Structure 1
Amino acid sequence: MFKELMYINSRPLPFEFYTASDLWTDEHIAKQMLNYHLHPNIDAASRNSSFIAKSSEWIINHFGLTEGKKVADFGCGPGLYTTAFAKAGADVTGIDFSANSLAYAREVARNNDVEINYVNTNYLDFTADNHFDLITMIMCDFCALSPEQRKTMLRKFYALLKPRGSILLDVYSFNAFNKLSEKRVFEPNLMDGFWAEEHYYGFLNTFKYEQKKVMLDKYVIIQQSKVRMIYNWLQYFSPADLEAEIAACGFTGIELLGDVAGSKYQNESNEFAVIIRK
């Protein structure tokens, strides 16, 4: 038991493990994630509904998402942005790991009488013959990727963009990182049954990597039949660090914003957004 507890509470190297498939493809967890996506008043898997409406309108107007414009939304979830883009007239592709979220998104598209191409895959593996005018990655998904994965993603974006195309993504800031601290939690049915339908015991270790500006929520879920470990990594950025990563992948134009609704950048904000141009 002592060795097991030592392993449960051990600190891995930054981005040493990648468990996105466990988070997005487990049937029970996928249902819980969809509930978070659709909650109108909280910023969990998605932003709150009022911000989504505000940011969707700004994106449509700023990037001119009318008929003939091609848009790809990476990590589209249940289609909260893709539906708005398609209703504006754009030709929209949504990419997501969760089949459950995409089933909901397809139903919403049918109900709104719009056509959206939804692709169920890990967006790191996505390929397409199409080229896009705009690529979006919203809700700080970029932060969940390792440095190598981010490089892969940016190079993929570069290849998928039309000439003079744009990318819009948001990230967490150093300001948010500085407010966080390490913690340890043990609780029966941790997070009120989020992780499994049957009874389980859950351990949460939050690790802070000061030098790398990385946070990890490491979940160990102990059920009667199995033990699972889920690693939720988040990278935090300064504008300069993010711009350096982007420039290293061949992009030349970068515009700093406060968020994906087009607000002005502020140093004290917990997150910020960038428009990247090819």
Structure 2
Amino acid sequence: MPHNLFSLFSQPLKPPLFEPGEPRFWDDPHISKSMLEAHLNQTHDGASRRNAEIEKTIRHLITSGFLKTGDQVLDLGCGPGLYSSKLCFEGMKVTGIDLSRRSIDYARAQAERDGQNIDYIYTDFFNIDYKETFDAVLQVYGEICTFSDEKRDLLLNLVHRALKDNGIFIFDVSTRELRMREGLKNRWYFSEGGFWRPGKHLVLEEGFDYPENDTWLNQYIIVDEDGTVKVYRLWLHDYSFETISQTLENNGFRVEKAWNNLSGELYQKGGDWIAIAAKKV
């Protein structure tokens, strides 16, 4: 990890696949504040989908029978509790897990304000150790795409173990179509203070494509006023219906239903997203 401006020149032009960046992102004191603001912002879908879409998602999953009153639900990567709180209002018993202390603190405060009994846990969800506890596990907005194959399979193993017999894993993945439409970013800019830092800093943003692995990297190099350099990497492994179905089958799941999004739009090939309800088998 680079520590000063001169070390920038020792960085590879194209990082090896799933090379980690700065480890402290979700729980960074300033970035976590920016992320919480993005989660709650109703003008864009930058960190979370907006409330209207979240409500449509919950309603669709209930009417389609994949979630029901009384279910024990695990919300992985729950953020500030936008889905967890709505599931609780529908009579479900919810556990929410997130790696951002700021988001968990916000979620707990909201639950207390609304008189909701939601078990919010501040931890890395790779640390979970549940066994046949939940009727459903929810993980939204393509978070599973951010992991290497090895970490993804570890996560699927943990989810499989946490689910009761015939339990349902509900999640969504991005597709190659979305990535090609968004395109590679390559720009730099100076900021007086913003998402990455409260004070002056330089942002070098670059995208890399790994087509043989259906993987994409958005890399952000942040140079502080004192010359300190940190590299943040967001890896995105995209899927087709065929590849996510095979991945699930290899890890003890069977696809029960697929949509273009979690609010229930009928699945058609070529969309930006694939939403899945997979049963533990």
User: 1:16 Cα shift?
Assistant: 1.7
User: 1:129 Cα shift?
Assistant: 5.1
**Aligned positions, number:** 275
User: 1:41 Cα shift?
Assistant: 2.6
Q: Which residue is equivalent to 1:15?
A: 18
TM-score (norm 1): 0.93
Amino acid at match of 1:260: L
User: 1:89 Cα shift?
Assistant: 1.1
Query: Does 2:231 correspond to 1:215?
Result: no
What SS class does the counterpart of residue 72 from structure 1 fall into?
strand
Amino acid at match of 2:235: W
Q: Which residue is equivalent to 1:234?
A: 236
Report 1:37-76 matches (<5 A).
37-61=39-63, 62-67=65-70, 69-76=71-78
User: 1:4 Cα shift?
Assistant: 4.0
Amino acid at match of 2:110: V
User: 1:228 Cα shift?
Assistant: 1.0
Q: Which blocks of at least 5 consecutive residues in structure 1 are unaligned? A: none
Aligned identity (percent) is 28
Residue deviations 1:227-254 (CA, integer Å, cap 9, x gap): 2111111111111011111111122344
* Aligned-partner Cα distance in 1 for 2:5–2:86: 52
Cα contact 1:60–1:85 (8 A) shared by 2: no
User: 1:8 Cα shift?
Assistant: 4.9
Cα contact 1:206–1:215 (8 A) shared by 2: yes
Distance 1:201 1:2, change over 3 A: closer
* Aligned-partner Cα distance in 1 for 2:261–2:255: 17
Q: Which residue is equivalent to 2:128?
A: 126
Amino acid at match of 1:24: W
Q: Which blocks of at least 5 consecutive residues in structure 2 are unaligned? A: none
Distance 1:155 1:214, change over 3 A: same
Cα contact 1:8–1:220 (8 A) shared by 2: no
What SS class does the counterpart of residue 252 from structure 1 fall into?
strand
Residue deviations 1:82-138 (CA, integer Å, cap 9, x gap): 001111111100010001011111111112111000111111222235610000000
User: 1:183 Cα shift?
Assistant: 3.3
**117-126 vs 97-106, greater mean Cα deviation:** 117-126
Cα contact 1:257–1:265 (8 A) shared by 2: yes
Amino acid at match of 1:218: Q
Distance 1:204 1:197, change over 3 A: same
Q: Which residue is equivalent to 2:202?
A: 201
What SS class does the counterpart of residue 233 from structure 1 fall into?
strand
What is the RMSD computed on CA atoms of the aligned residues? Answer: 2.0
Q: Which residue is equivalent to 1:155?
A: 157
What SS class does the counterpart of residue 268 from structure 2 fall into?
coil
Residue deviations 1:133-189 (CA, integer Å, cap 9, x gap): 000000111111111110001011110000010010001012113324333212112
What SS class does the counterpart of residue 253 from structure 2 fall into?
coil
Q: Which residue is equivalent to 1:77?
A: 79
* Aligned-partner Cα distance in 2 for 1:253–1:268: 19
Distance 1:7 1:204, change over 3 A: farther
Cα contact 2:5–2:228 (8 A) shared by 1: no
Q: Which residue is equivalent to 2:107?
A: 105
Q: Which residue is equivalent to 2:269?
A: 267
Amino acid at match of 1:251: F
TM-score (norm 2): 0.92
